[in-house]
């Protein structure tokens, strides 16, 4: 029984040591890679600032296109009424023309 308890304690201690070594290696590699991470951050910010006007222009074009499509979607159901109104107006103009007097 004491042997099993000792083996379990040694296993827990071994896992603790492995975790400690892994943490130290992670810290070492993080410090080693830190300049490249900072360079990547600076480049990302630079390209973000360079592309910002393009993104803003595309956003304006997209918003205008969305607005036109929304307006079309709202006005399209009224198209049959517009056609009917134009037909009635055309018939009214056709009927309301004055009669042409003959030159006799």
* Intra-chain end-to-end CA distance of the chain, in Å: 137
Task: Return the residue matching tokens 């004055």.
Answer: 98
The total number of residues shown for the chain amounts to 104
Local confidence band at 37 (pLDDT 50, 70, 90 cut-offs)? very high
The average pLDDT across 12-35 equals 95
pLDDT of 46 above 90: yes
Q: 89 Cβ partners below 8 Å, 6+ apart?
A: none
Which tokens go with 89? Answer: 């107006």
The pLDDT score that the predictor gives to residue 3 is 92
DSSP per residue over 16-55, as a string? HHHHHHHHHHHHHHHHHHHHHHHHHHHHHHHHHHHHHHHH
Local confidence band at 97 (pLDDT 50, 70, 90 cut-offs)? confident
The average pLDDT across 23-36 equals 95
pLDDT of 104 above 70: no
The pLDDT score that the predictor gives to residue 96 is 83
The pLDDT score that the predictor gives to residue 99 is 67
Domain assignments of the chain as residue spans, ordered by start: 8-95
The pLDDT score that the predictor gives to residue 10 is 94
């Amino acid at each position: 029984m004491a042997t099993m308890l000792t083996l379990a304690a040694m296993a827990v201690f071994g896992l603790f040591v492995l975790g400690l070594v892994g943490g130290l290696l992670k810290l070492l590699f993080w410090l080693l890679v830190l300049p490249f991470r900072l360079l990547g951050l600076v480049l990302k910010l630079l390209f973000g600032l360079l592309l910002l006007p393009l993104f803003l222009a595309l956003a304006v074009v997209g918003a205008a296109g969305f607005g036109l499509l929304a307006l079309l979607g709202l006005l399209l159901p009224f198209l049959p009424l517009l056609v009917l109104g134009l037909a009635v107006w055309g018939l009214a103009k056709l009927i309301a023309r004055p009669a042409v007097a003959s030159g006799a």
